[in-house]
């Protein structure tokens, strides 16, 4: 196994968490480098695209969350070998990026502009994407997005659903997913209840 170092922010979510979780689930040793938000300014310029996550593979530095997810998914056995199933996995991961970017762009807006931008997203793009993603889950059998088993695609969707339902995004109703795409809430609950995943977050909480 190559020597791996995954750098992301110090919280259990976001663009870096699917890869982090996949590595844990695959039992793959890696350096889990967590940068506190307060220290980010000092690290930003050292990152290839001034953003995280970043993965170092035997010293080669690579960015872009979905590329990292695919690579790590292959190492961990959490990425489909079948091309079509891999395509379905990629489709949902990229759809989540289409949601992540506009939400991310609201983070540093002043309060009034943030309210306006988030209310617009909550009335348009977000429910549309949630509906489309839910339809893909149903088409794939209702349990997983691809390969009828857990893949990094499931982990990526779950992180978005968890974020939207957490209530940390002001002006974004935390019951939005429940109303528009209840199957994604069920999907999230099923993932959270998987013994290896539940044990991982229990360990995180205790640490």
- Of residues 4, 6, 7, 15, which one binds ligand GSH by CB under 6 A? 15
Tell whether residue 160 is a contact of ligand GSH (CB under 6 A). Answer: no
Closest alpha carbon to 159 in 97, 83, 112, 74: 97
Residue 92 · residue 133 · CB < 8 Å: yes
State which of positions 97-136 bind ligand GSH (CB under 6 A).
97, 104
- What end-to-end distance do the CA atoms of the chain give, in Å? 27
Residue 99 CB partners (closer than 8 Å, separation 6+): 125, 126, 129, 160
Nearer to ligand GSH by Cβ, of 49 and 206: the residue is 49
Q: How far is the CB of 46 from ligand GSH (least distance, A)?
A: 12
Report which residue's Cβ sits closest to ligand GSH.
51
Q: How far apart are CA 153 and CA 145, in angstroms?
A: 7
State which of positions 18-57 bind ligand GSH (CB under 6 A).
44, 51-53
Residue 187 · residue 160 · CB < 8 Å: no
Considering only 62-70, 121-129, 130-138, 152-160, which stretch makes contact with ligand GSH by CB under 6 A?
Answer: 62-70
Nearer to ligand GSH by Cβ, of 104 and 141: the residue is 104
Q: How far apart are CA 111 and CA 64, in angstroms?
A: 29
Tell whether residue 64 is a contact of ligand GSH (CB under 6 A). Answer: yes
Nearer to ligand GSH by Cβ, of 101 and 195: the residue is 101
State which of positions 66-85 bind ligand GSH (CB under 6 A).
66
């Amino acid at each position: 196994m190559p020597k791996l170092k995954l750098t992301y922010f110090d919280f259990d979510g976001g663009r870096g968490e699917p890869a982090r979780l996949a590595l844990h689930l695959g039992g793959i040793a890696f350096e889990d480098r967590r940068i506190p938000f307060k220290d980010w300014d000092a690290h930003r310029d050292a990152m290839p695209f001034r953003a995280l996550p970043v993965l170092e593979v035997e010293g080669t530095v690579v960015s872009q969350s979905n590329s990292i997810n695919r690579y790590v998914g292959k190492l961990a056995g959490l990425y489909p070998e079948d091309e079509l199933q891999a395509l379905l996995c990629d489709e949902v991961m990229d759809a989540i990026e289409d949601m992540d970017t506009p939400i991310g762009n609201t983070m540093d807006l002043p309060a009034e502009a943030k309210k306006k931008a988030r209310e617009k997203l909550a009335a348009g793009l977000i429910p549309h994407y949630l509906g489309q993603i839910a339809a893909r889950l149903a088409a794939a059998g209702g349990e997983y997005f691809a390969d009828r088993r857990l893949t990094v695609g499931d982990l990526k969707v779950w992180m978005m659903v968890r974020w939207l339902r957490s209530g940390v995004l002001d002006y974004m109703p935390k019951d939005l997913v429940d109303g528009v795409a209840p199957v994604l809430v069920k999907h999230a609950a099923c993932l959270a209840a998987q013994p290896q995943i539940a044990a991982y977050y229990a360990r995180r909480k205790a640490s």
